Amino acid sequence: MSETETIKISHNRKDTFLQKVKKILPEGGNLNLCLTCGACASGCPATGLEGMDPRKFLRMAALGLDDEITGHPWVWMCSLCQRCVYVCPMEINIPALVYEARQLWPREDRPKGILGSCDMALRNDSCSAMGSPPDDFIFVVEDVCEEVQNDQPGWENLQAPMDKEGSHFFLSQNSREPVTEPEEMVPLWKILHLVGADWTYGSTGWGGENYCMFLADDENWKAITEKTVRKAESLGCKVYLNTECGHSTYSVWMGVQRHKIETDLEIAPIVPYYARWIREGKIKPSSDWNKDLKIKFTVQDPCQQVRKSFGDPLAEDLRFVVKTCVGEENFIDMTPNRSNNFCCGGGGGYLQSGYTEARHQYGKIKFDQVKATGAKYVVTPCHNCHAQIHDLGEHFDGGYHVIHLWTLIALSLGVLADTERVYLGPDLAEVWLPGEPGTPDPFSDK
């Protein structure tokens, strides 16, 4: 903060909030463990928004300033990314405090966008935050798959299974694809086909998003998590495989733990599977397409999949896959990166919160990170990161493109059709089109 703000403490202050959160803090909730070193605030993109920062928020809780905390809009401008926890020498979980502070808001007064997405998912068996019912999902999947079978040579046997019992993988699906961009589902189907994966969608419980988590609505976070997990179990699946959606991955992985949902399913992100399939030779992406073009790429480490859950091993797998696809010499890392990376500002419900100006201010750090690399493309296996970094590029005139990881893999395999290149720029619109001279045949060694 540029100016020092005086906080006046009355003798009649309350400390009910502190009592509530004691169980989630180290050493029985002793906030005096805070060294007031400022590491949390110095590395937080939300510092300064609404005159608040993580250290100040923590001290207000410690001093019992419940009235100042209750209803403060900053709790919706904190993306709960946990970078403050990562740098805190005492490992004080400030985002957990913020989560509890969100619950102090009457439910009907919480951001309408987040509230609407949570309630929409509760009203349909798909668990879709965009309200897509099971019948619509089934129709879109079947229609798109049939179109590929009929129009793309070599893919006559492509399948997108629905409610296939005994499948190894239960694949979640973010609603954005079937509702607004169905062609974006196809590259992933092609990858799964080439590796011979035994997978299925569920006609219900497929929605790969959970805005009730962002709403701090524990009861309904649990309800949605349990519904999708039980659907996977009912089909006899072994692995709940999250598509490239950071908050879906985290909401199911952490939802099972936080809400003590008993299951034998492995809750897994898809990035390590991409890396495994490449290492095992089940798919063989090539960077030859980029030898002469020398187009530069960077990656965004999604907070939900890296810092908050699966850690640097997933970040390393992400880099391995991208370097394999574009050439190591054409990869440029952001600084800082991996578990220490800055949140882009797409998480925590920010995209749905209505605080657009604050979100852009928050995201300026990420925008500057991207621009510093000089990369033409940002690869991110997370829908919220994808949407936010794309929006930042348009807002600040970044001149870069943001793509899903499945797009890059499919391009490097020579299977990315022209209709599946929505997020690619003109420089890659016609590179390695299937069936064109010089494009590898993915079926040649099958």
Whether residue 357 sits in one domain with residue 262: no
The pLDDT assigned to 24 comes to 63
Whether residue 229 sits in one domain with residue 172: yes
Number of independent structural domains in the chain: 3
Whether residue 256 sits in one domain with residue 149: yes
Apex CA 82: angle with CA 79 and CA 83, to 5°? 105
Whether residue 261 sits in one domain with residue 155: yes
The pLDDT assigned to 23 comes to 66
> Do the domain assignments include residue 101?
yes
- As a three-state string, the secondary structure of 313-357 is HHHHHHHHHHHHHHCHHHECCCCCCHHHCCCCCCCCCHHHHCCHH
Q: What is the Cα–Cα distance from 44 to 26, expressed in whole angstroms? A: 21
> Do the domain assignments include residue 140?
yes
Whether residue 226 sits in one domain with residue 121: yes
Whether residue 252 sits in one domain with residue 287: no
> Do the domain assignments include residue 88?
yes
Residue where one domain finishes, among candidates 258, 276, 294: 276
Which helix (DSSP H) or strand (DSSP E) does residue 392 occupy?
helix 383-395
The pLDDT assigned to 299 comes to 98
- Alpha-carbon distance values, 43 to 49, 413, 442 (Å): 14, 39, 45
Within 10 Å of residue 182's Cβ, how many Cβ atoms? 17
> Do the domain assignments include residue 21?
no
Whether residue 302 sits in one domain with residue 245: no
Residue where one domain finishes, among candidates 255, 276, 297: 276
Q: Judge contact between 83 and 338, C-beta under 8 A.
A: no
**Sequence-ordered list of residues with C-beta below 8 angstroms from that of 375, at least 6 positions apart, any chain:** 296, 297, 298, 332, 400
> Do the domain assignments include residue 444?
no
Q: What is the Cα–Cα distance from 301 to 322, expressed in whole angstroms? A: 12
Whether residue 145 sits in one domain with residue 248: yes
> Do the domain assignments include residue 158?
yes
Whether residue 308 sits in one domain with residue 211: no
Whether residue 376 sits in one domain with residue 325: yes
Whether residue 308 sits in one domain with residue 251: no
The pLDDT assigned to 1 comes to 41
Whether residue 196 sits in one domain with residue 269: yes
How much of the chain exceeds pLDDT 70, in percent? Answer: 93
- CATH code (residue 381): 3.40.50
Residue where one domain finishes, among candidates 105, 135, 157: 105
What are 255-314's pLDDT values in tens digits? 999 999 999 999 999 999 999 999 999 999 999 999 999 999 999 999 999 999 999 999
> Do the domain assignments include residue 438?
no
Domain interval for residue 268: 115-276
The pLDDT assigned to 33 comes to 73
pLDDT along the chain (446 residues), means of 10: 49 64 61 82 95 92 84 96 92 90 95 97 96 97 98 97 98 96 98 98 95 97 98 98 94 97 98 98 98 98 97 98 98 97 96 97 98 98 97 98 98 98 97 96 78
> Do the domain assignments include residue 324?
yes
- Alpha-carbon distance values, 44 to 1, 47, 298, 367 (Å): 12, 6, 22, 15
